[in-house]
Amino acid sequence: MKSSWKFFVAIAVVFVVLQCVRPGIPSKPATAEIEVPAQIHRILESDCYACHSDQPRLAWFDEIQPGYWLVRKDILTARGHLDFSTLGSKPAAAQKATLYEAVNMIQLGAMPLSRFVALHPQAAVSPGDLAALKTYLSPWAPLPAPSVAAGGSGFPALSAEAPPIRLEGVSAEWNGVAFDPSFESWKPLSFTDRGDNNTFRFILGNDIAVQAAESGRISPWPDGTRFAKIAWQQQPGSDGLVYPGNFVQVELMTKDSKKYATTDGWGWGRWRGVDLKPYGSDARFANECTGCHEPVKGNDYVYTPPITSAPSTLKEAVNNRAAALSATLPYQPLRWTPITMFVDARTRTMSTLYGNENAVKSLHARSASPAAPVYDPGAVLALATWAQRDDPHWFGGRIPDIPVSVEFVTVRAQNALAYRRFDGPNLAEAHPSSASIGQRTSFLVGLKPASLP
């Protein structure tokens, strides 16, 4: 009994001593709060400010050690990633982009932390609050009308483009991830329409990535996998369609589970602008990447599901519906090189123009961004059109869904073009009028390639 009494006394002494070891949590008045309507501010203050602001609010039991240390660590980590007390100092677009990321963290269950909600149930974001945040963000508001005259094809007249740069000379990222000049030859895995920042994106993969997607070996993706995510500004055309405008950036992900063990097995890189300037400048860059991709760690940190017919036991890890092209089509273009894409908001469809090897060679043999493409004999173009659906992993994004139609133009000889169209649930061959054939042929061969640096 005597030894037991001493043990409990020792525990009590240690407990009291621990209460004296109390590093502070910096607290100060907000200097530049996020600029949002009063209702949205109330939601953020109620659900997020306890950790993501300069005014932490601790429950009485949070003050007791050792729980205090855990809460303090969570608050400082959260504040380092997102601080609503200072977010207002950033441009309005950056504020909204940060709020989009926060909404996606919430809807994917990554925030607030489950262990925090277990003791602080008031921090849980209600379905009504989440719906209010989404309504405020309104990602699918119409784009402004073209401010400049567009050509007859509907393409906006863009500003003069900078001459192509030497890709082999592009600097490595801050974290040492090298730029890969071969990304332009990689094959498409998917495409996204981003209403949150009004961009289009090609998601391309190297041979290892494509083979993994086609076989379903993506849990995890094999070492050697490389992705390129290329982004363009959206530009509305006079024909009511939305096309890729100016080039924004290219992002690379390189899988090496040993080399990049500290960053979730992936090397991350981002190069912005036509001069492909590395985005990162310090350790915050890698933290920004891993923090953003944390909610999809179950999919090996990959957001966009690849278009493939391969099965997967993971939820929304692959996009089988978009891959459902009829085997009776004259060509299967989904692994051809993408040339451009566009969206028709009126029908909520998205289309990608693919080219076979001869078509791509025709483009590369000329200027980097020809005013009007000229395709050599043997070139085949394929325009795949899908219905759109909301991206299951990113609020504000849309991805391809069920195929609506596939159109082909074959260049048989100079000025000799053959057109075929397949549409409907089974992509059966259609027989349009001669006028329609001429119109669609001219449209496909006149589509301007999306610009690359």
Give the model confidence (pLDDT) of 360-383 as tens digits.
998 875 444 556 688 999 999 999
Q: Is 142's pLDDT higher than 70?
A: yes
Rounded CA gap, 162 and 453, in Å? 8
Q: What percent of the chain has pLDDT over 70?
A: 85
Q: How far apart are the first and last CA of the chain?
A: 79
Q: Which residues contact 388 (CB under 8 A, 6 or more apart)?
A: 193, 343, 348, 349, 350, 398, 399, 400, 401
Q: Is 184's pLDDT higher than 70?
A: yes
Over residues 130-138, the mean pLDDT reads: 91
Contact 100, 395 (CB under 8 A): yes
**Mean pLDDT lowest for which of 5-14, 20-29, 125-134, 256-265?**
5-14
Return the higher-pLDDT residue of 73 and 404: 404
Amino acid (1-letter code) at residue 413: A
Return the higher-pLDDT residue of 21 and 159: 21
Question: Residue 146's pLDDT is what?
Answer: 54
Q: What percent of the chain has pLDDT over 90?
A: 55
Q: Please name each of the domains of the chain with its CATH number.
A: 19-137 (no CATH), 167-299 (3.50.70.20), 321-446 (no CATH)
Residue 162, phi then psi, degrees to nearest 5: -70, 150
Output the six-digit token pair for 244: 């890729």
Query: What's the mean per-residue pLDDT of the chain?
Result: 86
Question: Residue 43's pLDDT is what?
Answer: 87
**Mean pLDDT lowest for which of 155-164, 198-207, 222-231, 312-321?**
155-164
Q: Is 55's pLDDT higher than 80?
A: no
Rounded CA gap, 219 and 214, in Å? 13
Residue tagged 């909301």 (tokens): 390
Q: Which residues contact 432 (CB under 8 A, 6 or more apart)?
A: 421, 440
Rounded CA gap, 176 and 252, in Å? 12
Q: Is 153's pLDDT higher than 50?
A: no
Q: In angstroms, what CA-CA distances link 98 with 34, 90, 116, 118, 275? A: 10, 10, 21, 25, 25
Rounded CA gap, 361 and 409, in Å? 16
Closest-CA residue to 244 (of 204, 279, 202): 202
Return the higher-pLDDT residue of 425 and 244: 244
Residue 94, phi then psi, degrees to nearest 5: -70, -35
Return the higher-pLDDT residue of 154 and 202: 202
Q: In angstroms, what CA-CA distances link 438 with 325, 397, 409, 420? A: 25, 34, 11, 11
Over residues 155-171, the mean pLDDT reads: 66
109: left (phi over 0), alpha (psi -120 to 50) or beta: left
Output the six-digit token pair for 227: 């992705």
User: Running DSSP on this structure, what letter comes out for residue 336?
Assistant: S
Over residues 140-160, the mean pLDDT reads: 50
Q: Is 158's pLDDT higher than 60?
A: no
Question: Residue 63's pLDDT is what?
Answer: 63
Question: Residue 157's pLDDT is what?
Answer: 40
pLDDT tens per residue, range 292-309? 899 999 999 999 999 999
Collapsing DSSP states into helix, strand and coil, what is residue 332?
coil
pLDDT band, residue 92 (cuts 50/70/90): confident
